[in-house]
């Protein structure tokens, strides 16, 4: 049943994406930035998916510390890993956009830098997990680290913003330049990305369960 | 009158201008496609990593199961 | 015994243990000296640009040297199962953590205060012109570094590759306070006092210290007991 839901959601996401990409291809170029502006249809949804992943990781970590239920630990790893993949996609698209508009791949701009710092923080989470053998200790320490990392995200964003900023202000509200008739396509893309993120997380979650089964079988084999 | 028409001619974009603009736009498209390809590639690589891990896990579980059956 | 008295006892114990061997402080200071020496080769100390990034260089030295002290903080308790005894002792994890953090803070500050004049001589910087404000930044930055370093020292004490993992985990988290301290220090050693447009960095430092001290004290019990 769970597999069926997963495959269904995945297929739905891909259908939405294909439909949306065809529509977006048909849109005219943006006035100031030309074709490259369309990268926003991808760039922003993956960023929001990554942020959602970080928030879910925080909730899962807190729930693990409260309930000591290993399901939440598995959820935290799964969602962190998927979030990292999405954040990497966000960084790459952002840096290619910067190459066209700013002339350089990496401008040490506030959001680029804070996204990179977040990426490093959550990569540290995965490395910490790799380094600890004992499951309970691994889950506890990883959860604590996840909470620390999540608290750091707003501080990082605030301080780097103060440090230096070139990133365009959000174009969606407050008199932004985003054409309002393009918004539906953007929102559809966003839904598709969130769905893909959810499907990937579920797949990873199942793997984490298989891993636990494997560990159990190993112990069993060892004890005989 | 003659002056005005020559001004109007000056204001019209020249062939080079159009070519330059076309080049700029194509350059734009080039980077857009790079960006999208790179981003999708990252996600696809991640999915492939996940698939390979899945297969490894399944194989190991099957192997251990078989071993346990044998011992019983 | 009250909470703060318990923390104080731990601080005194850690400082006494450190004073007997001096291994962490000595190695940390020697390391700081080596990095300062390398920086003198890498950057010409008579150039204007080197003066401008003096604060950045200084805090890189502090971060590297501080890690050496923080790494030892909990690892020192591993032989003879001292750590288990400390956890089993009738004091709260928060008191144990606070005591250790204060001891580390004293050691980190000591290394920093010795490195500072050496840095001033090597890099040709008159760092004493804004002395009280510089000390304030030093205290705030070092406390942020110590609190994160101490809790992560507790996290990584039992794991493989401890020496590598600690800096990998702490440096990304420490980016905001280090950035603030670097910006402020660069201005202060150049002789300009903290102005209204740089005071936001002071707020970043204070905010970071307060938030992470609170979170660490709250979560440390979970980390220690497992």
Are A142 and A73 in contact, with CB atoms under 8 Å apart? yes
> How many C-beta atoms lie closer than 10 Å to residue C150's C-beta?
26
Whether there are 3 or more C-beta pairs closer than 8 Å between B and A is yes
> Mind listing the pLDDT tens digit for each residue in B13-32?
667 777 776 676 666 677 77
Candidates A51, A59, A56, A42; CA nearest to A154 is A51
Question: Which pLDDT score is estimated for A34?
Answer: 65
Smallest CA–CA separation between C205 and chain A, in Å?
A: 10
Across the interface, do C183 and A163 touch by the CB < 8 Å criterion? yes
Question: d(Cα A89, Cα C207) in Å, to the nearest integer?
Answer: 32
> Can you tell me the distance from the alpha carbon of C182 to that of C192, in angstroms, rounded to the nearest whole number?
14
Interchain pair B67, A221: CB under 8 A = yes
How far apart CA A56 and CA A202 sit, in angstroms, is: 13
Q: Which residue has the higher pLDDT, B32 or C182?
A: C182
Sequence-ordered list of residues with C-beta below 8 angstroms from that of C175, at least 6 positions apart, any chain? A117, A152, A156, A159, A160
Kindly list the residues from chain C whose CB atom is less than 8 angstroms away from the CB atom of residue A128.
155-156, 159, 165, 169
Q: In this prediction, does ipTM exceed 0.90?
A: no
Residue A75 CA: distances (Å) to CA of A55, A70, A82, A209, C17: 12, 9, 11, 10, 42
Over range C49-58, report the average pLDDT: 82
Report the alpha-carbon distance of residue C65 to residue C211 in Å, rounded.
24
Q: Check A214 against B50: CB less than 8 A apart.
A: no
Strand partners of residue A34: A30
CA distance B61 to chain A (A): 6
What is d(CA A146, CA A224) in angstroms, rounded to the nearest whole number? Answer: 38
- Whether residue A189 contacts residue B37, with contact meaning beta carbons closer than 8 Å, is answered with no
Whole-number Å distance between alpha carbons of A49 and A68? 27
Chain A residues touching residue B69 (CB < 8 angstroms): none
Q: Which of A105-109, A162-166, A174-178 has the lowest mean pLDDT?
A: A174-178
**Chain A nearest-CA residue for C169:** A124
Distances in Å between the Cα of A33 and the Cα atoms of A22, A97, B24 are 20, 10, 10
Cα distance from A120 to chain C (closest Cα, Å)?
A: 7
The domain segmentation of chain B, as residue ranges, is 12-71
Alpha carbon distance, N-terminus to C-terminus of chain B = 106
Would the pLDDT of A224 be above 90? Answer: no
Contacts of B43 in chain A (CB under 8 A): 85-86, 89, 196
Residue A110's domain comprises: 2-169+178-223
Cβ contacts of A162 on chain C, cutoff 8 Å: 200-201, 204
pLDDT confidence bin for A29, thresholds 50/70/90? low
């Amino acid at each position: 049943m769970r597999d069926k839901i997963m495959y269904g959601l995945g297929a739905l996401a891909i259908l939405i994406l294909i439909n949306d990409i065809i529509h977006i291809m048909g849109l005219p170029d943006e006035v100031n930035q030309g074709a490259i502006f369309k990268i926003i249809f991808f760039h922003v949804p993956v960023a929001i998916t990554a942020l959602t992943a970080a928030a879910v990781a925080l909730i899962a970590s807190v729930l693990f510390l409260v309930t000591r239920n290993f399901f939440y630990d598995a959820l935290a790893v799964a969602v962190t890993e998927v979030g990292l993949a999405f954040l990497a996609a966000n960084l790459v698209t952002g840096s290619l956009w910067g190459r066209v508009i700013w002339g350089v791949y990496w401008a040490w701009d506030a959001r680029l830098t804070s996204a990179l710092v977040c990426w490093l923080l959550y990569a540290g989470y995965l490395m910490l997990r790799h380094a600890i053998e004992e499951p309970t200790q691994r889950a506890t320490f990883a959860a604590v680290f996840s909470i620390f990392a999540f608290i750091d995200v707003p501080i990082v964003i605030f301080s780097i913003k103060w440090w230096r900023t070139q990133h365009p202000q959000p174009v969606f509200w407050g008199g932004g330049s985003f054409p309002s008739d393009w918004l539906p396509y953007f929102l559809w893309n966003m839904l598709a990305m969130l769905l893909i993120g959810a499907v990937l997380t579920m797949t990873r979650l199942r793997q984490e369960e298989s891993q636990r089964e494997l560990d159990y079988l190993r112990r069993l084999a060892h004890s005989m | 009158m003659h002056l005005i028409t020559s001004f109007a001619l000056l204001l019209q974009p020249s062939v080079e201008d159009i070519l330059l603009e076309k080049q700029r736009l194509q350059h734009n498209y080039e980077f857009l496609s790079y960006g999208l390809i790179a981003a999708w590639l990252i996600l696809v690589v991640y999915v492939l990593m996940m698939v390979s891990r899945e297969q490894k896990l399944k194989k190991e579980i099957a192997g251990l199961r078989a071993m346990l059956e044998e011992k019983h | 015994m009250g909470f703060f008295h318990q923390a104080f006892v731990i601080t005194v114990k850690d400082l006494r243990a450190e004073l007997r061997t001096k291994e962490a402080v000595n190695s940390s200071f020697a390391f700081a000296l080596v990095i300062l020496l390398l920086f003198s080769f890498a950057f010409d100390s008579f150039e204007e640009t080197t003066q401008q990034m003096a604060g950045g260089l200084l805090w890189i030295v502090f971060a590297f040297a501080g890690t050496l002290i923080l790494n030892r903080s909990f690892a020192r308790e591993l032989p003879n199962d001292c750590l288990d005894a400390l956890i089993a002792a009738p004091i709260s994890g928060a008191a144990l953590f606070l005591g250790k953090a204060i001891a580390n803070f004293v050691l980190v500050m000591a290394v920093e205060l010795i490195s500072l004049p050496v840095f001033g001589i090597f890099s040709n910087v008159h760092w004493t012109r804004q002395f009280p404000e510089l000390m304030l930044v030093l205290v705030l930055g070092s406390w942020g570094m110590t609190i994160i370093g101490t809790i992560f020292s507790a996290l990584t004490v039992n794991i493989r590759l401890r020496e590598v993992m600690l800096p990998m985990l702490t440096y990304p988290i420490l980016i905001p306070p280090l950035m603030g301290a670097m910006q402020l220090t660069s201005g202060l050693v150049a002789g300009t006092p903290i102005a209204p447009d740089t005071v936001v960095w002071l707020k970043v430092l204070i905010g970071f210290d307060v938030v992470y001290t609170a979170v660490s004290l709250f979560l440390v019990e979970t980390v220690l007991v497992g």
